[in-house]
């Protein structure tokens, strides 16, 4: 009986932890706005699962430097759409277009598109 109870407890704990770890886009982002833009210098990709992250350095209206994180799908999904972890160079100017954070001080954006300085646009939702 103790083994059955222990196994059941462990299964429920693992399932609930996984469910909490993966979150809805609506929790952190204002999904009613899809054209929020962050323009700055590309720092790096964090080509990880469950969400690929980009870091962008910019100067705000007050002249202060900010580091923004841009989040999107998994590496596997982006790979199917033609993205690669080395597609942008550090220092390259990029505009990230997407959903803004619910709290602006979080400095995070949910990516819909990334546009280079020469106007090339990459979607996270279709083949590029």
DSSP for the chain? -HHHHHHHHHHHHHHHHHHHHS--HHHHB-TT---EEEEEEEEEEE--SS--EEEEEEE-TTS-EEEEEEE-S-HHHHHHTT--TTSS-TT-EEEEEEEPBSSGGG-EEEEEEEEETTS-EEESSS--
**Confidence (pLDDT) at 65:** 97
Which has the closest alpha carbon to 67: 42, 87, 48? 42
Q: Are 94 and 88 in contact (CB under 8 A)?
A: yes
Residue 101 DSSP symbol: B
- Average pLDDT value over all residues in the chain: 86
Q: What is the mean pLDDT of residues 104-110?
A: 95
**Confidence (pLDDT) at 13:** 45
Q: What is the mean pLDDT of residues 49-57?
A: 95
Global confidence as pTM: 0.78
Residue with tokens 């054209």: 35
- Counting residues of the chain whose pLDDT is more than 90, the rounded percentage is 76
Domains and CATH numbers, the chain: 28-123 (2.40.50.140)
Q: What distance in Å separates the CA atoms of residue 32 and residue 95, rounded to the nearest whole number?
A: 19
- Would you say residue 25 has pLDDT above 80? no
Helices within 38-124 (DSSP H only): 75-80
**Confidence (pLDDT) at 78:** 95
């Amino acid at each position: 009986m103790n083994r059955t109870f222990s196994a059941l407890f462990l299964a429920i704990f693992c399932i609930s932890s996984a469910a909490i770890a993966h979150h809805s886009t609506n929790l952190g982002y204002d999904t009613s706005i899809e054209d929020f833009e962050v323009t700055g210098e590309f720092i790096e990709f964090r080509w990880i699962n469950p969400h690929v992250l980009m870091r962008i350095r910019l100067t705000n209206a007050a002249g202060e430097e900010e580091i923004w994180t841009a989040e999107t799908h998994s590496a596997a999904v982006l790979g199917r759409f033609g993205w690669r972890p080395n597609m942008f160079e550090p220092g390259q100017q990029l505009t990230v277009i997407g959903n803004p954070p619910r709290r602006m001080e979080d400095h995070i954006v949910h990516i819909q598109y990334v546009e280079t300085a020469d106007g090339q646009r990459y979607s996270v939702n279709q083949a590029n």
